[in-house]
Structure formats: C-alpha cells, structure tokens
Amino acid sequence: MEDKEILENLGKIEIREGKERTIKSYVLRNNILEDKEKENVVKYMPKYGLFFKDEMLSYSDIFQNNNPTIIEIGFGNGETTAKMALIKPEYNYIGLEVYLKGFVQLLKTLGENDIDNVRVMRFNAVDVLEHMIPDNSIEGFHIFFPDPWPKKKHHKRRIMNPEFLHLLATKLKKGGYIYMVTDWQEYADEVLELVKGEPLLMNPFYTFAPPVTWRPLTKFEQKGMDKDYVINEIWFEKKK
C-alpha cells in the first residue's frame, strides 16, 4: 500500500461515514497530523495497523500464533495497552480507537519498543465487531474509562448499552470476560444493572469487582484518584 493510500484509509472510520446511522459514542477532535506523526503512520502502520475489511479476521494469521485474543475498545493514547502487552505477552491484543492523535501515539510506542502482540485499528468499534470479529472467538474485552457523557441528554451516546453489551457477549468465548473501569459512579451503577438483562453473561462478583492487579495505573487514573474519585471495576463473564 502506498504512503498516501495508508494515510487516506486511516481517515475512513465508519462504513457509512457522513450519513445518518446509529448514535455515535464519540466526537472527533483535532484530526490534523503533523509531518512527524504522518511519518510514524507510514513507518509503523504496515506492521501494526489493520484496516477495515468486510471479512472475518484470522487471529492466527495476524499474530502468527494461537494465543488468546483480547480487544481493547477506546485505548486513548495507548499507555495501558502497551504496558499490558508487555506484562502479559501470552495474549494478543487488538486495540480500537478513533482518536487519531492517540492512535498514532500507540503506533509509535509499539514500533519503538518492538511490541509484537498488539495490532491497532482506527475504526468504529460496532462496525468492526459486526463485520470482522467471529462469534465465540474473543478471550476478553477491555473498556477503560469510556466517555461517561455526564449530561442526561447525552446518556444515549454512552457506548455501554443493552445492544452493545449483547454484541460483546456474542463475540466472547464461553468463560470469556468483559472488563470495564470507570470513575463516573452513576455510569458504573447503570452498567452494573445491564448484565441482569443479558442472558449470555453473569457477574461473578454480584457487585463491583475487586481491583485487577495486572491493569497498569495510568496518569489519567492517578489524576482522578488525586481528586478522590472512586474507581469502579466491572467484570462480566460469558456463561459456560
């Protein structure tokens, strides 16, 4: 793929971009890349990047192994993603993010540190899950600090809703997990209730989960803790 084509394809993030479709859980900001960022895209995208195709992924082809695969939805700047991939190299990770600057930052981190068990895609998560992820194939989903859309009129934009939770559940292997972390209490309470209406999932803790020791603490999270925000961890599992 030519350099110009790589950059152009990176700008396509929805199947029906520019037309009315489902309510979006994100707003795009600052999509202008500096020359150095463009260089990083061209340099590292061929190895670490995935582009949308209306066909199911083969994880063994992508990673050249049969390790279990975890998908992180909304990885921000990728700080947690890169650290976790190094901590747990026995897993493969696919990161989905529409925030362009953060996407390029993780590309750069992966390339400079030669992290082989991560691939990234800049595309709408719902489209990717529906068209590229086989049912019953994912070991786990990570959703760390999703936008809480705090105003009541914007709650419909929250990514975690009954339809999305069911979609995640269909993609999980039996015994697979959904791991969400948020510092927005009302959102956490709402998501905790969602599992009660999803027959494919269960909450093994019945309430919020205890802190997971292998999740790295990020600068964003530390800032919240410094302000005495309560960090709630949610863990759902697919019934066996």
Both tokens assigned to 90: 């026995």
- Smallest Cα–Cα separation from 71: which of 15, 111, 123? 123
Q: How many CA atoms lie within 13 A of 94 on its CB side?
A: 27
Question: Which residue of the set 61, 147, 183, 189 is catalytic?
Answer: 147
Quick one: which H or E segment has residue 10?
helix 3-10
CATH of 3-238, one of 3.90.1150.10, 3.40.50.300, 3.40.50.720, 3.40.50.150: 3.40.50.150
The pTM of this model reads 0.91
Separation between Cα atoms, residue 187 and residue 140, nearest integer Å: 21
How sure is the predictor about 147, in pLDDT bands with cuts at 50, 70 and 90? confident
Average pLDDT over residues 170-174: 98
Please confirm, yes or no, whether 61 is among the known catalytic residues.
Answer: no
Tell me what the mean pLDDT of segment 179-206 comes to: 96
Measure the CA angle with vertex 155, ends 165 and 202; round to 5°.
Answer: 25
Contacts of 46 (CB under 8 A, 6+ apart): 1, 6
pLDDT value at position 181?
Answer: 95
18: left (phi over 0), alpha (psi -120 to 50) or beta: left
**Residue spans per domain, the chain:** 3-238
131/55 Cα distance (integer angstroms)? 6
Summarize pLDDT for 148-168 with one digit per residue, the tens. 867 888 688 799 999 999 999
Distances (CA, A) of 20 to 25, 31, 88: 14, 21, 40
- Rounded Cα distance between 201 and 52, Å, is 28
pLDDT band of 3, cuts 50, 70, 90: confident
Binning pLDDT at 50, 70 and 90, where does residue 25 land? low
> Cα(178)–Cα(169) distance, rounded to whole angstroms?
8
